[in-house]
Each structure stands twice: as structure tokens, then as C-alpha cells.
Amino acid sequence: MPINFPNILTIIRILITPLFVILLLRNEREFALLTFTVAAISDGLDGFIARVFNQRTELGAYLDPIADKLLMTAAFVSLGVLKIIPSWLTVIVISRDVLIVLGLALFTMTEIKVEIKPSIISKNTTVAQLSTIIWVLLDLEFAIVDTVSISFYWMTACLTITSGLHYMYTGINRLQSD
């Protein structure tokens, strides 16, 4: 399996996820924000480079969503435990990811081939989740912050639920067609 630059970026994202959590737990929000932002940029950059320079690999197709799930799970669980974001939002985000992983396991057990390809709603969900985390890590203090934060929470929750339902619908259709 070839290791190319996009795959290296994905591996770096996996490796800096624990650093991000450690920084959060040590209440070093500025460095946690910097680390998370680097991870978020690498998420977009690896896919962009893979597409533009035709460097897509099977390894990357598997590693990229793993890196995404690892980073998002670590971020939402850490921020939820630290009570920086509402616990209900953490439950929604993690539940969707668990359903996706269970669906993929079901396809594997039934030997149904599936192409791992995020939908447009899933990509928008990722952007909303990344934006929400960056927003709360900015730790801004001005009058409208609570209103903006609540808007981010609800936008992320609605997109996450919609994306989860879309994956379930697609998965059920795929199971019924085989």
C-alpha cells in the first residue's frame, strides 16, 4: 500500500489527536485550538491533494474517515466531559458515528461491498462540527457569544441527525437491494 502525502497528513491527524486531548485536559485552550485547527486544515488538505493530484489510495479511503471519527470523538467527548459544550450534543455526534461504524460492520459481516464516500450532507456536517469545536475553543467573551454558541450547537445537531438518517436510509436501501 502506497504511503503518499495525503496519507501522511491523515496519519499526522491521527497522531495529534491525543495531543489535542491532553492540551484540553491541561486547560491550555490556545494550544488546543492551534492543534485542532491544524488537524482540521489537514482534513481538508489531504482530500484536496488526493483529488487534484490523483493520489487517492485504498489506504487513504479507510484512514481518512477513521482519522475524522477519532478526532471528532475525542473533541466532543473531551469538551462534553469538561462541560464546555452541552452533553446532549456530544451524545448526538457520538451516536451518529457509532451507527455509521455499526452499519459498516454489518456490511462487512454480510459481505456486501460498499464504497466509502461521504455525501454532501455528511461533508456539511463535518464542517459544522469542526466549526463548533473551533468556536468554543476560541473562548470569546462578548455579549452575543451565548447566542452564537447555541446557534452552532443546534446547527451541528440538526446536520448530524440529518446526516445520520441519510446514512441509515442509504444503508437500508443497500441491504434490501442485495
Q: How far apart are the C-alpha atoms of 117 and 104, rounded to whole Å?
A: 12
What rounded mean pLDDT belongs to the chain?
Answer: 93
Nearest to 125 by CA among 159, 161, 92, 88: 159
Q: How far apart are the C-alpha atoms of 46 and 91, rounded to whole Å?
A: 28
21, 36 in Cβ contact below 8 A? no
Q: Please report the pLDDT score of residue 113 as a whole number.
A: 85
**Residue 140, Cβ density class (10 Å: 0-12 exposed, 13-18 middle, ≥19 buried):** exposed
Backbone angles phi and psi of 117, in degrees to 5: -145, 115
Tens digit of each residue's pLDDT (9 = 90 or more) over 84-135: 999 999 999 999 999 998 998 998 899 888 877 788 999 999 999 999 999 9
Say if residue 37's pLDDT is above 80: yes
Q: How far apart are the C-alpha atoms of 161 and 92, rounded to whole Å?
A: 7
Q: How far apart are the C-alpha atoms of 90 and 87, rounded to whole Å?
A: 5
Considering only the C-alpha atoms of the chain, give the largest distance between any 2 of them, rounded to a whole number of Å: 55
Say if residue 2's pLDDT is above 70: no
Tens digit of each residue's pLDDT (9 = 90 or more) over 39-60: 999 988 998 999 999 998 888 8
The domain covering 5-177 belongs, at the CATH homologous superfamily level, to CDP-alcohol phosphotransferase transmembrane (TM) domain (1.20.120.1760)
The pLDDT confidence band at residue 142, using thresholds 50, 70 and 90, is confident
